[in-house]
Structure 1
């Protein structure tokens, strides 16, 4: 089967709700790339008063180790944020565009149409640099103000994105509403609109227990780029009561490897890092594999079977 590109978003997603020191963020990112994770969402270039836990974005970018063939990305909210991302040396910057109009007004302070005009200006700015600019479509499967969305609900938005020349998209199931059928329908719809299937990334949030089932459906649909979060960590400051965790990186990597899909990631190193992350920082975790360890492989010298004994009265 084809390779899958995993992008770990824990440094940004977790930093929103559970601030870490700059040194720990740098250690986390360097350890992820050392384990073979090929893409990282490092931080967000946003106003510090909005998300204080990400106020050190420049410092983190300056401190992390640059490795060949590793993409270091970020989120941006406006043209000012994009300029900061360019100055910091980010490889990619993704704008936060909401498919939920009510959320956009209440939390971004702009309508979706106003955000699209901002994104168009940002895309023009990016044309003078080497950075790749794309956009999130958050709440692609439904948001806080309404029921789940269908592909037809996104048609106007995606057509506008193509009109302004933005062809790198991250579809985010921000509320964890998507079922495998909904994943199949919406990703097929998006792939049909984009010239390059590698321009589509899908980000699954696992607050309702459908994460791994949805990952399996993404692979069947032909999606090659997936966002995950170490230890199933994360949260959103605007939705503190909504389960906001990204689907667990190590759980996804184990699933893919068992299904014969290559990721280039060292799963054992990832599990070790996940345990450090959770235990040292008291990070809430939605992951599974870090607790019992990966499924043993045929190499019993490096993956011995677990000891067990029957309990007796």
Structure 2
């Protein structure tokens, strides 16, 4: 007589509510052109194409030492030339109080201090250790309080790198407390070399959210190891709506020559979000056109899939035929 086996009841999947929309901030105007020297006209043309695609948030440039980042020496001119449209938010990077003052004069809405969690990169990027950077940030916070600008900070290599081991949420705690003491509670967590899979994304972002509200947190993934798109849904589940991406996955850094430093590909991210029912307000077809223009005009290496294969077909939008070899 065979023994009857009782099949265990299947547990129900937890219900996850995704936000209705997100704020995609395009960082290619800063990330790509800090590594590729191009005329100012090319930079402003890129922004115009992105505006036509519906992008309304940018990290436009950096007000930093031109000897360290010569590609962004025209930051003020770029700010002056960008068309102002309704809903536009223009951000920048700054390395010291002088750069913050220049950002205010240029009309930046937000400025993000370049704070590296990795000591070696901190010295290569800004010429000073992290402890000195925090002292500078404290002086800048006092300046920003008297001016019409939101001062936040990067946490570059928040998940680890560029060559060292991964970092955990516990590793973030001392720096998080110091930033709050200074009075800076708008943070950009940057996975600068693509260390994080979804479990690591959840752990570090959860640790950050214990200190700052979700609407003060932006996450910037650099897709160096092919895990960038996988980070999007965990971020949405945690309530993070500020996501930095880079057109065509382009980008690099003069302090890390020969290393692909591109951000998560904007057009791939927009497609995934829209298919997940999350609005971005961005026209994917125009975005793809802008990505192709960028890689051809600048010669910047571009990653990504959707601009090569075409978007997933939708009503009124036929798919792009693929050639298969069997």
TM-score, structure 1 length as denominator? Answer: 0.94
The offset of 1:243, in angstroms, is 2.6
The offset of 1:96, in angstroms, is 0.4
Structure 2 residue corresponding to 1:68, chosen from 86, 89, 94: 86
Residue of structure 1 in register with 2:106 after alignment: 88
Over residues 61-96 of structure 1, what are the superposed CA-to-partner deviations in whole Å (9 max), with x where a residue is unaligned?
A: 111101111110000000000011000000110000
Contact 1:76 1:96 (C-alpha < 8 Å) held by counterparts: yes
Residue of structure 2 in register with 1:124 after alignment: 142
Contact 1:103 1:145 (C-alpha < 8 Å) held by counterparts: no
Indicate the SS of the match to 1:222.
Answer: coil
Moved over 6 A (4+): 308-312
- Aligned residue pairs: how many? 308
Structure 2 residue corresponding to 1:28, chosen from 46, 49, 64: 46
Highest Rg: 1 or 2?
Answer: 2
C-alpha separation in 2, matches of 1:251 and 1:92:
26
2:232 is the alignment partner of 1:218: no
C-alpha separation in 2, matches of 1:106 and 1:39:
28
Contact 1:141 1:150 (C-alpha < 8 Å) held by counterparts: yes
2:162 is the alignment partner of 1:148: no
The offset of 1:101, in angstroms, is 2.0
C-alpha separation in 1, matches of 2:42 and 2:180:
39
Residue of structure 2 in register with 1:252 after alignment: 269
Structure 1 residue corresponding to 2:224, chosen from 201, 207, 211: 207
The offset of 1:237, in angstroms, is 1.1
CA RMSD of aligned residues (A): 1.6
C-alpha separation in 2, matches of 1:309 and 1:104:
47
Distance 1:294 1:163, change over 3 A: same
The offset of 1:311, in angstroms, is 7.6
Contact 2:309 2:320 (C-alpha < 8 Å) held by counterparts: no
The offset of 1:9, in angstroms, is 0.3
Indicate the SS of the match to 1:147.
Answer: coil
Structure 2 residue corresponding to 1:230, chosen from 225, 241, 247: 247
C-alpha separation in 2, matches of 1:159 and 1:2:
32
C-alpha separation in 2, matches of 1:212 and 1:304:
24
TM-score, structure 2 length as denominator? Answer: 0.91
Indicate the SS of the match to 2:194.
Answer: coil
The offset of 1:248, in angstroms, is 0.2
